A and B are shown apart, each in its own frame.
Chain A
Amino acid sequence: MKHDMPAIQLIGLTKTFGTVKANDHINLDVHSGEILALLGENGSGKTTLMNMLSGIYQPDEGNIFIKGKAVNIRSPKDAINLGIGMIHQHFKLVDLFTARENIQLGQRNNQAFSPDEVCKKLGLKTDLDKKIYNMSVSEKQSVEILKVLTRGADILILDEPTAVLTPQEIESLFKILRAMKEDGKAIVIITHKLEEVMNISDRVAVLHKGVNVGSIDTAKADRFVLTQMMVGRQVDLQIKRALAKTGDTILDVHQLSITAADGQKELQSVSFQLHAGEILGVAGVAGSGQKALCEAIAGLQEISGGSILLDGKRIDGLSPRDIIKRGVSMAFIPEDRLGMGLVGSMNIPDNLLLKTYREQPGILLNRKSAKNEAARMIEGLDISTPGLNTPVQKLSGGNVQKVLLGREISLSPKVLITAYPVRGLDIGASMRIYDMLNEQKLKGVAVLFIGEDLDVLLSLCDRIAVLSSGRLTAIVDSKFATKALLGMKMAGLRTDKEDAYA
């Protein structure tokens, strides 16, 4: 009877933030020796649900049963004692400590397994005495996994574990997960990438707007069924690459090097050319120098070597304002969305004015033109907002991003730099953003697209440049590129073919 008990059983779990029901009476079972994928768009309540299991949040209603026993998880400590280990999307590691110290944290002498043992068992090659701040993202993730396993966790929750990994690293993570599954552990993996769901999971549960819309065996599912469950309607998943005539070189980045204040080399002689009517994608794991590149072109970051030419004239060393005047626009979406570009407490017209008020005569602001422009934008881009005077921070993520991108486009730039424009957006809103970029491309704008999702880069961009720890490791035509190739380049590895010729 005993092994029929699900490892986790959630009944009627509800959590409300303010007026928003993040989780609405969710029922869910997870069994030992199975990998359950929890699928849903951003904001559908996946992380909230799992945070209730790991003791970060308290449910307002409903019950949690662990191995058949009703439990009350009041803190992460309770969760650990119940054998629940959560690997958060943003790692919870102390950067200054070594891996071993991080693993030892908060433990008395009752460590269930030694980290060395666990490493051996899973075939992990983590250097336990390396400091976290010297580690790559995937190494850090291994430490997170070690942390929970050394405590004897038999229920593992991974929150978007693949977001920051290269395809090769994802494959080795999945190998580890399969090994843990064989070991009889119950594993929940939160993701919104359909391919990974199909690849790794035994069963899929789909959340939509805080409600569990059902779960099916992965073997019986396909991408379209899952999308429909996830979005609640049929969606055309095909991203189109607009056919435009590639024009002259607009932006010429030549041997660009950037050294940060602490001596770290953020970019090392990066060269590429960006043409009119072209979308050039930039791939790379987070923190490979994407931010420095964008900021250097926009004039926000001092460069330590090389040059940046716009229409054959140098723009490096000019002030950001001069660079904007010459037609370079940047829409950088940081993780917190509002951090760079928009002022959250101001409304849409005022945010538009931020970039144009200098062109107005006199000392007083003329809001009328900005209001008209804002109204046009709301109409044209289908931005949902209660009114012109609503502060942008009250808008949903997708709408904020439309405002940001819309403002840059309204300046009719020659070069449009966009970084992570679909970060945190659902599929529908993402498609709208891709359409906007394609429209710009057709108008002859040179677009630099810093992206995260390789599938998107491959289908949207004309060419893809790959950054790896500040170096440009490849520029490839996306018609001929594969994910495996990009992944190899992102990791800074040479391909087999190159080795054969070397």
Chain B
Amino acid sequence: MTFAQQLLAFFYAAVLASVPLLYGTLGEILIEKSGNLNLGVEGMMYLGAIFGFLGGFIFDSAAMALLFAFAAGMAGAAIYAFITVTLKANQNVTGLTLTIFGTGAANFIGEIIKDSHAAGTVFISDKVKNVLLPLDMGILSDIPVIGKLLFSHSILTYFVIILSVSMSIYLNRSRHGLNLRAVGENPAAADAMGISVSKYKYIHILLGGGICGLGGAYVSLVTAVGNWQPNIIGGQGWIALALVIFSSWSPTRAIFGALIFGALSVLRLYIPKNIIDIPGALFSMLPFIVTCLVLIFSSIKQKREHQQPAGCGVNFFREER
């Protein structure tokens, strides 16, 4: 392979790896914009991964797979929303619990299916995979370089780009987006203007959870090519949480953040051993090390518009003074 081909392959792999991160990030941005910090991204992605897998396996349909994944992520978020918005419990603890629950539930269900079927029979059919795996758009995909870069991705990849652009428009240009940001910044102010704080929180926490669920489905159906593996998400939900900060709560900046982190996570495979020979484990650490650096640098004060919604982490009681 020439250097240019190598570079192209690296970039393509980076895109593949960045998609689930971007789903997780977008989901969490939507949730945090409503003033709730949900540390359960990893858990919701796990739920999406296993239920997306189950949906595809049982119904042999890509639409059902995605529907199941979205619903499962939403269900996880619904538990979180009920506990934090209605019962007003601590958001951090609830989110962490959701991560532990999602991870455990997904691995548990995965083991059950594998155990209850004959070896080698638990996988997603080609019919489903053909819809979800990277597309071949004929002539378009065959254009040199551009074809590979732009016209040979999974339908889920194109969808996530559309999602982040439309989310950006929704948040910054629409009336409901304005109300949502007000709820996240200062729920008391929103409440005084007659906005239903709980309603806004519920809707956006649930939608955000569903989006995280789609990210999980991408991992089990596309990244793992329809074969269930234990611990399949492997910390991507946590990286997504850091990406929310990295992209300073902007859905469009999140695209670039996810690409960078995606690239870091596949870098190991594209650096020739004869040039730099360092243990693979060090490469696997990279995304997490960069996450640490991001958290350190983002703690340095920035423009006020680029910071976490001020109401994040604090539950809203109308009667509190």
**Are A and B part of the same complex?**
yes
Chain A residues closer than 8 Å to B301, beta-carbon distance: 261-262
Given contacts A57-B319, A262-B301, contact A97 B192 (CB under 8 A): no
Contact with B along A71-111 (1 / 0, CB 8 A): 00001110011000010100011111100011011111000
A81–B194 Cα distance when bound, in Å, is 9
Interface pair A94/B189, CB less than 8 Å apart: yes
Chain A residues closer than 8 Å to B194, beta-carbon distance: 75-77, 80-81, 106
Tell me, yes or no, whether B136 is within 8 Å of chain A by CB.
Answer: no
Given contacts A105-B195, A106-B194, contact A92 B189 (CB under 8 A): yes
Interface pair A94/B186, CB less than 8 Å apart: yes
Interface pair B178/A101, CB less than 8 Å apart: yes
Interface pair B189/A105, CB less than 8 Å apart: yes
A93–B187 Cα distance when bound, in Å, is 10
A106–B188 Cα distance when bound, in Å, is 12
Give the contacts of B184-203 with A (CB-CB under 8 A): 185-186, 188-196
Shortest Cβ distance from residue B124 to the other chain A in the assembled complex, whole angstroms: 45
Interface pair A106/B185, CB less than 8 Å apart: no
Tell me, yes or no, whether B239 is within 8 Å of chain A by CB.
Answer: no
Shortest Cβ distance from residue B94 to the other chain A in the assembled complex, whole angstroms: 25
Given contacts A75-B194, A133-B304, contact A105 B182 (CB under 8 A): yes
Interface pair A94/B185, CB less than 8 Å apart: yes
Interface of B, helix, strand, loop or mixed by DSSP: helix
Interface pair A106/B186, CB less than 8 Å apart: no
Tell me, yes or no, whether A213 is within 8 Å of chain B by CB.
Answer: no
Given contacts A56-B318, A57-B319, A262-B301, contact A105 B190 (CB under 8 A): yes
Interface pair A96/B305, CB less than 8 Å apart: yes
Tell me, yes or no, whether A147 is within 8 Å of chain B by CB.
Answer: yes
Interface pair A96/B185, CB less than 8 Å apart: yes
Chain B residues closer than 8 Å to A54, beta-carbon distance: 192
A108–B194 Cα distance when bound, in Å, is 11
Chain A residues closer than 8 Å to B190, beta-carbon distance: 94, 105-106
Q: Which residue of A lies closest to B184 (CB)?
A: A94
Tell me, yes or no, whether B175 is within 8 Å of chain A by CB.
Answer: yes
Interface pair A104/B175, CB less than 8 Å apart: yes
Interface pair A93/B304, CB less than 8 Å apart: no
A218–B196 Cα distance when bound, in Å, is 40
Interface pair A76/B310, CB less than 8 Å apart: no
A436–B175 Cα distance when bound, in Å, is 55
Tell me, yes or no, whether B103 is within 8 Å of chain A by CB.
Answer: no
Number of B residues, CB within 8 Å of A = 22
Interface pair A106/B193, CB less than 8 Å apart: yes
Interface pair A95/B186, CB less than 8 Å apart: yes
Interface pair A92/B310, CB less than 8 Å apart: no
Chain A residues closer than 8 Å to B189, beta-carbon distance: 92-94, 102, 105
Interface pair B319/A56, CB less than 8 Å apart: yes
Tell me, yes or no, whether B268 is within 8 Å of chain A by CB.
Answer: no
Tell me, yes or no, whether B179 is within 8 Å of chain A by CB.
Answer: yes
A108–B195 Cα distance when bound, in Å, is 11
Interface pair A76/B185, CB less than 8 Å apart: no
Q: Which of B179, B192, B310 contacts A88 (CB 8 A)?
A: B192
Tell me, yes or no, whether B153 is within 8 Å of chain A by CB.
Answer: no
Interface pair B182/A97, CB less than 8 Å apart: yes
A147–B304 Cα distance when bound, in Å, is 23
Q: Which of B193, B196, B304, B310 contacts A105 (CB 8 A)?
A: B193
Q: Which of B178, B192, B319 contacts A86 (CB 8 A)?
A: B192
Give the contacts of B303-321 with A (CB-CB under 8 A): 304-305, 310, 318-319
Q: Which of A80, A105, A261 contacts B179 (CB 8 A)?
A: A105
Contact with B along A245-256 (1 / 0, CB 8 A): 000000000000
A258–B305 Cα distance when bound, in Å, is 25
A94–B182 Cα distance when bound, in Å, is 6
Chain B residues closer than 8 Å to A102, beta-carbon distance: 182, 189
Shortest Cβ distance from residue A140 to the other chain B in the assembled complex, whole angstroms: 11
Chain B residues closer than 8 Å to A104, beta-carbon distance: 175, 178
Interface pair A92/B319, CB less than 8 Å apart: no
Given contacts A77-B194, A95-B310, A133-B304, contact A106 B181 (CB under 8 A): no
Chain B residues closer than 8 Å to A57, beta-carbon distance: 319
Chain B residues closer than 8 Å to A86, beta-carbon distance: 192
Given contacts A56-B318, A95-B310, contact A106 B179 (CB under 8 A): yes
Q: Which residue of A lies closest to B320 (CB)?
A: A56
Chain A residues closer than 8 Å to B193, beta-carbon distance: 76, 80, 92, 105-107, 147
Interface pair A93/B186, CB less than 8 Å apart: yes
Give the contacts of A346-362 with B (CB-CB under 8 A): none
Given contacts A94-B189, A262-B301, contact A106 B195 (CB under 8 A): yes
Contact with B along A122-136 (1 / 0, CB 8 A): 000000000001000
For A56, A147, A262, the residue with the greatest tally of chain B CB atoms inside 10 Å of its CB is A56
A69–B273 Cα distance when bound, in Å, is 83
Q: Which of B175, B181, B191 contacts A76 (CB 8 A)?
A: B191
Chain A residues closer than 8 Å to B192, beta-carbon distance: 54, 76, 86, 88, 92
Q: Which of B175, B181, B196, B318 contacts A94 (CB 8 A)?
A: B181
Contact with A along B115-127 (1 / 0, CB 8 A): 0000000000000
Contact with A along B139-182 (1 / 0, CB 8 A): 00000000000000000000000000000000000010011011
Give the contacts of A45-59 with B (CB-CB under 8 A): 54, 56-57
Chain A residues closer than 8 Å to B186, beta-carbon distance: 92-95
Chain B residues closer than 8 Å to A93, beta-carbon distance: 186, 189
Shortest Cβ distance from residue A56 to the other chain B in the assembled complex, whole angstroms: 6
Chain A residues closer than 8 Å to B182, beta-carbon distance: 94, 97, 102, 105-106
Shortest Cβ distance from residue B171 to the other chain A in the assembled complex, whole angstroms: 12
Chain B residues closer than 8 Å to A262, beta-carbon distance: 301
Shortest Cβ distance from residue A98 to the other chain B in the assembled complex, whole angstroms: 11
A88–B320 Cα distance when bound, in Å, is 14
A56–B321 Cα distance when bound, in Å, is 10
- With A94-B182, A95-B185, A105-B178 given, can you name 4 additional A-B contacts, CB distance below 8 Å? A77-B194, A92-B189, A92-B193, A97-B185
Question: Considering the complex of A and B, which 6 residue pairs feature the smallest CB-CB distances, nearest first?
Answer: A77-B194, A106-B193, A92-B189, A106-B195, A92-B192, A105-B193
30 interchain pairs, CB-CB under 8 A = A54-B192, A56-B318, A56-B319, A57-B319, A75-B194, A76-B192, A76-B193, A76-B194, A80-B194, A92-B189, A93-B189, A94-B181, A94-B186, A95-B304, A96-B181, A96-B185, A96-B304, A97-B182, A97-B185, A101-B178, A102-B189, A104-B175, A104-B178, A105-B178, A105-B190, A105-B195, A106-B195, A133-B304, A147-B193, A262-B301
